[in-house]
Amino acid sequence: MDKYSFLNTAHTSFFAELYDQYLINPDSVEPSWRAFFQGFDFGMESALDEAGISSQETTVTLPSGEKIEVPESFHKEFQVVRLIDGYRSRGHLFTKTNPVRERRKYSPTLAIENFGLSEADLDTVFNAGEIIDIGATSLRNIILHLQKIYCDAIGVEYMYIRHPERVQWIQNWLNVNSNHPNFNPDRKKYILRKLNQAVSF
C-alpha cells in the first residue's frame, strides 16, 4: 500500500502543523516527510515561476522520482502555511513604521497570488489558522491576523534565528497579543525611557 495513501482520509490540521514545523526546521521531521515537503516546495516554486498564477497541480514529485497524489484540500492548506511563513519571514518589510511617507517597494510582495492562492479562496476555511492560534477560520481572517502581527506599526524580524525553540517562543508570544501588548501608562514610560537611553548610548 502507498505509504502516503492515508492523506486522503487524514485531518488536514495535523499535516498543516507538520509542514509548519518543517519550514521552521526541516531536520525536525522524519526523513520521509522531509522528502515529501521538499517535493511539494519544489513543485510549488516551479509552477509559480512558470505560470505566475495559482497552481492547480496536486502531484508531488519526491527527490527519489516517486510521484504522490495530494488531495486538493491538503494542497491548499500547505499553500496557506507557506503564506503564514511568508509573513513571518518578510512581514517586517511591509510595516507601517513611518507615518510621513510610504516604505520602499519590496518584491516579491505578500500578495496571495505569490503563494498559489486567489481571491476565490478568501472565504474558504483553513485549519492552518490553528498554527497562529486562531483556530480553523477563513483565509481572509488569517490574512487580517497576520497583517496585524507582522505588518502594522511594529516590525518583527526573527526567522533568521537558528534555534527552533527560540523561534517557537517568539511566535507563541506574538500570537498571545497579536503583537499589540496592552501596557499601562507607567510601563509605556519605562519602555520609552529605555529606548531613549539606548539611542543616546
Instruction: Among 5-14, 60-69, 82-91, 146-155, name the one with the lowest average pLDDT.
Output: 5-14
pLDDT of residue 116: 87
- Predicted model pTM: 0.73
pLDDT in tens, 126-175: 988 988 989 999 999 999 999 999 999 888 999 999 888 899 899 988 98
Nearest to 27 by CA among 168, 158, 35: 35
Residue 146 burial (CB < 10 Å; 0-12/13-18/19+)?
buried
Q: Is-contact 79 117, C-beta < 8 A?
A: yes
DSSP track, 83-139: HHHHHHHHGGGG----SSSPPPP-SS---GGGGT--GGGTTSEEGGGGGGTS-SEEH
Integer-rounded Cα Rg, in Å, for the chain is 19
Choose from 8-12, 49-53, 172-176, 189-193 the range with maximum mean pLDDT: 189-193
